[in-house]
């Protein structure tokens, strides 16, 4: 599983995932800061990456039928950095990327 981290996901999450050998790309690394949410979701789908976000606008895009490679959603501040990393590692290890297509995991 490959992740695409929204711009508000803490850098410590990125570092923790990479230390565990998980393929992670950030919006910043992709040079896509400021792109509209619909374009972010389309980019993630094109790259076959699961979007990780605190932004509930992506839930609305899913509800409107926008295709995607998966969304992992968490409310900001509800989970510690360690909990976010643990949850994402678990998702990467137990869910097949095809199962994530047009699916939302709430953590």
Q: How many domains does the chain have?
A: 1
- pTM for the model stands at 0.95
* Number of Cβ atoms within 10 Å of the Cβ of 24: 22
Residue range of the domain that includes 101: 2-106
22 with 89: CB under 8 angstroms?
yes
pLDDT tens figures, 15-30: 999 999 999 999 999 9
pLDDT tens figures, 43-93: 999 999 999 999 999 999 999 999 999 999 999 878 999 999 999 999 999
CATH of the domain at 76: 3.40.50
- Enumerate residues 6+ apart whose C-beta is below 8 A from 55: 6, 8, 37
Would you state the pLDDT for residue 92?
A: 97
């Amino acid at each position: 599983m490959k992740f695409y981290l929204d711009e508000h996901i803490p850098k410590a999450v990125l570092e923790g995932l990479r230390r565990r050998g998980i393929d992670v790309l950030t919006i910043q690394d992709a040079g896509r800061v400021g792109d509209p949410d619909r374009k972010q979701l389309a980019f993630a789908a094109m790259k076959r990456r699961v979007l990780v976000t605190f932004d509930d606008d992506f839930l609305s895009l899913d509800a409107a039928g926008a295709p995607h490679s998966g969304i992992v959603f968490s409310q900001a501040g509800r989970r510690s950095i360690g909990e976010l990393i643990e949850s994402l590692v678990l998702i990467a290890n137990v869910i097949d990327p095809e199962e994530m297509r047009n699916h939302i995991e709430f953590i």
